[in-house]
Structure 1
Amino acid sequence: MSKTRKIIGFVGLILAMFMGALDATIVNIALPDIMKDLKTGLTDTSWVATIYVLAMAAFIITASKLADIWGRKKVMLIGVILFGGFSFACMTANSLNLLIIYRFFQGIGGAILTPIVLPMGIELFGKENTSKITALMGAFSALAAAGGPAIGGFIINYESYHWIFGINVPIAIVAFLMILIGTNESYDETISKAIDWLGVIFLTTFMGSLCFGLLEGREYGWSSNIIVGCFIGSLISLILFILVEAKVKSPVVNLSLFKEKTFSSSCIIYMVFGFAIIGPSLILNYFLQNVKSYSALHSAYLIIPASLAIAVGMPLATKMYKTVSSKMLIGIGLVITAGGLAMLGMIKTNTTQEIIVCCNIIIGLGLGFTAIALTSSVKFLPVEKTGIGSGVVNAARYVGQAIGMALLVTVLNNNVVNAKDSIRDAAYTQIQEKNLSPEVKKVAREQIKIVFKNSKNDNKISSKQKQMKNKIKKAAKKTIDLPLPKAGTAYRRLYSANNKLNTGTKKLAVLPLPQLKQGVQLLSKGHQKIGTAIKLLAQKQQLVSALDKIRFKKNSELANAFAKVFNLTSLLTIIWLPLCWLTDRKEDEVEYC
């Protein structure tokens, strides 16, 4: 096959993989529009995003195995058809149930597209170019995953959300033709053509139950029967899967693969990669949208530099891979990633956008180096085992992402709950201590309760705060039961002086002059109005002071809530640093058998 045809085929493979990775995140920004169009709630609509990730995680290893048996080109083309066809179906879906069903099958297509690119790329260009192939895969996968919200936002700004799915159709057609023309069929010639269906069932049940429990634990409750059942079911399925795989002649996953330490350790590192990427892609996004009140598109623009940095960092690490061992590159990646996350751990509500972008670039470069684990995972595997090896390592990444979403969002939610409690108590104290009218205090307490109420599905504060200020300001304009200005203040002295003038003016009314009496009455009314105005100004000063202190407390507590999560992510990333030592070895050390 000519070099031109090989390049055409590989571009088609990258396009197919790009589609699969893109659809894991592009839908998130469209959920509000889907809710409005299909008249559904947030909890039900979120399944449009969740079901896709579940399907990918559950079937990705099985897809790799079937491709090794039936032919990778054949299965890849089926995957492209499946993905493109159900993308069109999602585009035309007129009910939420149909959309979720179509997304499930689209996810199965995505599970086929992702892991088969590596073995097909090696078949085209040889195992000696594995690092270059994985560098391109990692770069475009990162661009798709982190760029999804921005691309989705751009589409929604100019067209309806339906085109978020529709954009895949022409890409799928082009990818199909390029793969058809530019690739050859390949198999794992060392395995039996028999399919271990029992192993497939146990593996799919394990991955599906585990990821469902992790992704939906916060929604249903971690101690709920369905989530506990999922985790128990996943554990039982894993045990049964291992028992079956140890006995059958043609296992779905040859357990001897894990005897290769570079493969096992690289899978864990790639799982850490999936875990760490949740920091900038999800937790930071929550901070920007729910605390800073940025739009989804604005937030995406600040997060995209992380994916661009991955796209730069991985090819850079690949070039260095020729002379530097993977354990050194992955170690550098973990340190840089953890450092960038620790920098985000110092985030404040007044942190500039430039600093946030810089942090994301640092994290992205670190993740780019860490992603060399994708290369090191298959370096010492036989060529025919790169297919199933790619499936396992990619599945590890999705498990890492699911763990990250489950753990970090749960910790964040608890932190925000504690922060809201602290803010609410401090706000009540401020309102009680300030010299305000009973009406203002009543309205303020009501609004504080609403703004800082703990809700599982709504943690937006900044948008509610504007409504709170407007209602309190409206109450503060009322002149009923205004308190005296606080003793010792300039307003109190001014109020006292105005009262003395009013008293002195009234004394003139005792003089037997009708015209003077009329003038005195007008002056007295004027003094009363001035007194009321002074009270209003004094109350405004007290109210502004209280709101400023509440705002300062809110900013401090919420920033601290997010900072703790970033620091936790940094810690749980860096603790795997010793494992880097096992991701590489000398060529003459034989481990896989």
Structure 2
Amino acid sequence: MAKSVSLSTQSQNWVLAAMILASSMASIDASALNVALPAIQRSLNADATQLVWVVNAYALMLAALILVGGALGDHLGRKKIMLVGISLFVGCSAACAVAPSIEWLIAARTGQGLGGALLIPGSLAIITALFDDKQRGKAIGTWSAAGALTGLAGPLLGGLLAGEGLWRVVFLLNIPLGLAAWAIIYRSVPENRDESANGPVDYIGGGAASLGLASLTYSFTMWSTLGPAQPAVYGTLIGGIIGLTGFVWYEMRQPRPLVPMSLFSVGAFAGTNLLTLFLYGALSIVSFFLSLNLVQLQGYRPALAGLAFMPLPLPLILLSRWVGKLSDQYGPRQLLISGPIVTGLGFLGLSLIGLTKGASDYWLTFMPCVLTMGIGLTLTVAPLTNTVMGAVPNHYAGTASGINNAVARAAAVLALAVAGSVVLATFRHQLRLQIDGLPLPAAVVEDLQAKSSQLGGTPIPAGISASGRASVHRAIQLAFLHSFQVIMWVCTGLAWLSAIMAAFWVKRRQKKPRPPVNQ
């Protein structure tokens, strides 16, 4: 338990402001980046695999180390660890902003992920520790609402800046936010830690999880580029499986594990984490490829592509409290079944959209699908959180929340790695089919195939007629459209699979289980 600290109202306000600023920095960075990806691809001449790494380098470090970051805060002091995390995040954001190459950007994003793993767990933990029971709910509500608003602002800011050729400023936005949060935390937030966290931090478990996730991510991402016969691909696949298997084996034998495996013997906890794995994996795929579709295929300006995502968080902001009351009144099961089904309908709707006339068609094409996704997520998020927290004994509530958070982030990493390879392989096959009947020189065909890793941004080779360029452009569009449709069908299946997980594992009413044995 954290030591009780009595703060004045003014001090509590400073604490809350600092936590909001720190969380907003990470939130804006993540939500703005997807919309800026096409501009980054053009500016740094990146292919699709490298774009996946721009997103996954950050998400991988966050998924693998967020539990370690939380444990370090509990042991060494949450203020101290959060200051280190903010410093690292701000420094690496500056490195992202001046990146001269895509490789530099990927490396800097890796550092950002490490910083995020240190700062993100501390935010909610500090609010929980420094606000009393009467004030805590209001503080967490304010913190959550601020997070939702930054989720709205991120895509809009990212689109506006990328549209003006200023995608680097997306990363520079983190610097004033981070410096302000750092200064307030240093001056106004008292140090606090979990007084019961006396044992050593489970570095071995964290390292095994990190290596396992990194190996699987590399293997899945490079599968379509290098081919499955390459030792680097099948070797890291085997290594990843061994690493994660070793992680589970080691955790089951530790007196104070990073992830108490006995929690997964509780059906509702196991089921909701499987739901999280499938649904949040699908959501990460949709967010990534929908941005590319809007800009590269439909011709949206980046600012309008950012606005296109606005209907997604609106239902979460407007209806989350009402859904929470429904969950309390009727139980979470029906909501956890219907929410992913509705979200899947939004994914399915995206798969049915062909080439449009641009942003003028948005209201009858993409907007209903994005809004449907938002409604489905609204029906899911609050009941999911309540079920995860309510499925385990009270003293495991923080651990359960951290595990579910890590599962969501790991799902995003692995799903995007697999989806990137699937889309790239599908695009190359479809592009061959589309250009087969065109009267193109062999050198042009070879050039198109060589540069097809840029997906919808594949450049049209020089030296062909205007009519030939139009035909090639159309072939690239149709190949990317088919690839997008295929991956949206996959995402629909993942969403509906998550609904099956809820139907199978989540009972009509949750009862607090007895504490797991030997943990």
2:366 to 356, 360, 376: 356
Cα displacement (A) at 1:367 = 1.7
Question: Could you list the per-position Cα deviations for residues 20-77 of structure 1 after superposition, in whole angstroms to 9, with x for gaps in the alignment?
Answer: 233345445656776787x775466875544222222221121122222223333223
Change (3 A) 1:210 1:66: farther
1:293 to 299, 302, 307: 299
Say if 2:401 is the partner of 1:390: yes
TM-score, normalization by structure 1? 0.72
Question: Could you list the per-position Cα deviations for residues 305-354 of structure 1 after superposition, in whole angstroms to 9, with x for gaps in the alignment?
Answer: 22444444544433433324222322221121011112222212137211
Cα displacement (A) at 1:157 = 5.0
* Counterparts of residues 84-95 of structure 1 (less than 5 Å): 84-91=90-97
1:562 to 481, 484, 491: 484
2:498 to 564, 569, 576: 576
1:434 is aligned to: none
- DSSP 3-state at the match of 1:247: coil
Unaligned runs of at least 5 residues, structure 2: 1-6
Asked if 2 retains the 8 angstrom alpha-carbon contact of 1:330 and 1:370, the reply is yes
Which one-letter code corresponds to 2:411 in the other structure? G
Separation (CA, whole Å) in 2 of partners of 1:466 and 1:317:
56
Which one-letter code corresponds to 1:208 in the other structure? A
Which one-letter code corresponds to 1:356 in the other structure? F
- DSSP 3-state at the match of 2:489: helix
2:171 is aligned to: 165
Asked if 1 retains the 8 angstrom alpha-carbon contact of 2:458 and 2:476, the reply is no
Change (3 A) 1:381 1:70: farther
2:159 is aligned to: 153
* Counterparts of residues 152-231 of structure 1 (less than 5 Å): 152-156=158-162, 160-179=166-185, 185-231=191-237
Which one-letter code corresponds to 2:486 in the other structure? K
Separation (CA, whole Å) in 1 of partners of 2:447 and 2:134:
59
Say if 2:329 is the partner of 1:320: no
Asked if 1 retains the 8 angstrom alpha-carbon contact of 2:456 and 2:476, the reply is no
Asked if 2 retains the 8 angstrom alpha-carbon contact of 1:72 and 1:187, the reply is yes
Which one-letter code corresponds to 2:85 in the other structure? G
1:377 to 364, 388, 403: 388
Separation (CA, whole Å) in 2 of partners of 1:20 and 1:291:
29
2:413 to 397, 402, 406: 402
Separation (CA, whole Å) in 1 of partners of 2:95 and 2:276:
33
- DSSP 3-state at the match of 1:415: helix
1:256 is aligned to: 262
Say if 2:286 is the partner of 1:280: yes
Change (3 A) 1:382 1:41: same
2:4 is aligned to: none
Separation (CA, whole Å) in 1 of partners of 2:188 and 2:325:
26
1:415 is aligned to: 426
Separation (CA, whole Å) in 2 of partners of 1:283 and 1:422:
22
1:79 is aligned to: 85
Say if 2:71 is the partner of 1:65: yes
Change (3 A) 1:28 1:285: closer
Asked if 1 retains the 8 angstrom alpha-carbon contact of 2:448 and 2:459, the reply is no
Change (3 A) 1:270 1:296: same
1:424 to 429, 432, 435: 435
Say if 2:252 is the partner of 1:246: yes
Moved more, 182-191 or 348-357: 182-191
TM-score, normalization by structure 2? 0.81
Asked if 1 retains the 8 angstrom alpha-carbon contact of 2:275 and 2:498, the reply is yes
Asked if 1 retains the 8 angstrom alpha-carbon contact of 2:251 and 2:260, the reply is yes
Cα displacement (A) at 1:589 = 4.1
Separation (CA, whole Å) in 2 of partners of 1:574 and 1:312:
25
Moved more, 285-294 or 140-149: 140-149
1:331 to 306, 317, 337: 337
Which one-letter code corresponds to 1:337 in the other structure? T
Say if 2:466 is the partner of 1:470: yes
Asked if 2 retains the 8 angstrom alpha-carbon contact of 1:279 and 1:341, the reply is no
Unaligned runs of at least 5 residues, structure 1: 429-441, 474-543
Which one-letter code corresponds to 1:22 in the other structure? I
Separation (CA, whole Å) in 1 of partners of 2:258 and 2:303:
42
Change (3 A) 1:367 1:140: farther
Separation (CA, whole Å) in 2 of partners of 1:125 and 1:320:
27
Cα displacement (A) at 1:254 = 2.3
